[in-house]
């Protein structure tokens, strides 16, 4: 009798159904393919260039700034992956081996993202995970999602000419955690530090961190879009040769406006025999938006960047870069960028997006011999 009861009990246990309203996680293996395309046309109004026949002309060209093939999917609800080949124009001579090279005007195919993601939704807040492979760094890709105009050009942290830029991707291992009630998140990882375009060159690794706080997560809707961010990257070129980045950022997201302010301080010592170089700068941007009933919108892009490549108050600028050799101090040299444009975002379904942007991108230089540059662009975006 007891054996029968045990058997019945085991059968009943095995047949227990989930509580009403419970949806079991989806463990169906899946794979999805998408793409991202940045076509553009540029017309440089200043400075003019001289062609091979000695004619003075305005440089202009059609180009593709970026082309992604996005392959994403899941093995189960616990394990996901992404592989993204990146097709972009090579900016320098690429040597493949003895007698083989790719010229600086070629479009090259390389890996931008290739990682495995282990989801912790069963044990932590939803959206918490760990990644291993070539993956997003904590800040740049995150800000691009708020800025939304990566197809015009890179964000401030990636665009300024640091000895090693802050790129959107690198090889490493990282952890992401979402705070409860949408109060913010953090992303921390250990990376090679050389960015995804290069392999590791020594034994040094970069600690990279972003912490984000949404102080008014449960307040009025207009206040929920305000977030504060702290970004810290700590790495070394070699041994004790410091490579450090510290950023403080504010962003705001609303149906009628996205805006942001970035401040960055950097410290670089590329070799033990080199002197420390400290630099800093800031960027402020806004994208006012007029949404339409059909899902489209007209938007403006307004942005200003200011960067001081070396903040030294005791060293004079090199004669090769100074209009007043022997007089100009390093901290008197500044690089400024102004971007202004008008965009139309087409109506769409789901999370795809298509936009066209007409914009002006100009650079000026304080106490630097580099002439100002002024370029008019027509930028396009297709993200599917």
Tell me whether residue 10 is in a domain.
no
Please give the structure tokens belonging to residue 238. Answer: 């070699």
**Per-residue DSSP letter, 68:** E
Tell me whether residue 11 is in a domain.
no
Residues 198-247: tens digit of each pLDDT = 888 899 999 999 999 999 999 999 999 999 999 999 999 998 999 999 99
Scanning the chain, the segments in alpha helix (DSSP H) are 2-14, 140-147, 156-159, 221-224
**Per-residue DSSP letter, 51:** -
Question: Is the Cβ–Cβ distance between 106 and 89 less than 8 Å?
Answer: yes
Question: Is the Cβ–Cβ distance between 208 and 215 less than 8 Å?
Answer: no
Average the pLDDT over 75-99 and give the result. 79
Tell me whether residue 40 is in a domain.
yes
Amino acid 7: pLDDT: 40
Tell me whether residue 308 is in a domain.
yes
Domain count, the chain: 1
Please give the structure tokens belonging to residue 93. Answer: 């001579």
Q: Report the distance separating Cα 227 and Cα 143, nearest Å.
A: 11
Tell me whether residue 189 is in a domain.
yes
CATH code of the domain in which 313 resides? 2.40.160.10
Amino acid 152: pLDDT: 98
Please give the structure tokens belonging to residue 202. Answer: 């020594």
Of 304, 275, 301, which Cα lies nearest the Cα of 288? 301
pTM (two decimals) = 0.89
Place 82 in a pLDDT band, splitting at 50, 70 and 90. Answer: very high
CA atoms within 13 A on the CB side of 175: 5
Which range marks the domain in which residue 314 is found? 27-96+107-383
Amino acid 92: pLDDT: 60
Q: Report the distance separating Cα 286 and Cα 147, nearest Å.
A: 8
Amino acid 197: pLDDT: 84
Please give the structure tokens belonging to residue 79. Answer: 């394990």
Average the pLDDT over 65-69 and give the result. 92
For the chain, what is the mean pLDDT? 91
Tell me whether residue 1 is in a domain.
no
């Amino acid at each position: 009798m007891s054996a029968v009861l045990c058997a019945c009990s085991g059968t009943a246990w095995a047949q227990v159904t989930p509580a009403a309203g419970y949806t079991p996680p989806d463990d169906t293996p899946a794979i999805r393919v998408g793409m991202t395309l940045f076509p553009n046309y540029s017309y440089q109004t200043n400075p003019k260039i001289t062609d091979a026949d000695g004619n003075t002309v305005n440089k202009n060209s059609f180009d593709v700034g970026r082309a992604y093939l996005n392959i994403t999917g899941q093995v189960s609800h616990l394990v996901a992956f992404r592989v993204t080949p990146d097709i972009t124009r090579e900016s320098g001579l690429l040597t493949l081996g003895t007698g083989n090279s790719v010229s600086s005007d070629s479009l090259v195919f390389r890996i931008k993202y290739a990682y495995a993601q282990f989801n912790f939704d069963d044990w932590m807040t939803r959206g918490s995970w760990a990644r291993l492979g070539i993956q997003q760094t904590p800040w740049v890709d995150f800000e691009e999602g708020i800025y939304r105009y990566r197809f015009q050009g890179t964000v401030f942290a990636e665009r300024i000419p640091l000895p090693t830029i802050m790129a959107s991707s690198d090889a490493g291992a990282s952890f992401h955690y979402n705070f409860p009630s949408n109060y913010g998140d953090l992303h921390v990882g250990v990376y090679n530090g050389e960015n995804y375009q290069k392999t590791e060159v020594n034994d040094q690794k970069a600690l990279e961190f972003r912490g984000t706080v949404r102080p008014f997560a449960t307040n009025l809707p207009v206040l929920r879009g305000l977030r504060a961010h702290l970004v810290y990257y700590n790495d070394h070129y070699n041994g004790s040769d410091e490579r450090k980045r510290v950023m403080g950022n504010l962003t705001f997201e609303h149906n009628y406006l996205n805006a942001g302010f970035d401040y960055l301080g950097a410290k670089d010592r590329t070799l033990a025999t080199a002197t420390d170089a400290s630099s800093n700068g800031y960027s402020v941007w806004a994208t006012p938006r007029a949404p339409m009933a059909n899902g489209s919108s007209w938007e403006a892009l307004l942005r200003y960047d200011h960067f001081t490549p070396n903040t030294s108050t005791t060293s004079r600028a090199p004669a090769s870069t100074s209009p007043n050799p022997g007089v100009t101090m390093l901290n008197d040299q500044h690089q400024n960028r102004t971007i202004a444009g008008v965009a139309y975002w087409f109506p769409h379904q789901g999370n795809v997006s298509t936009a066209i942007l007409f914009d002006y991108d100009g650079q000026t230089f304080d106490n630097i011999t580099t002439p100002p540059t002024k370029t008019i662009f027509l930028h396009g975006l297709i993200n599917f």
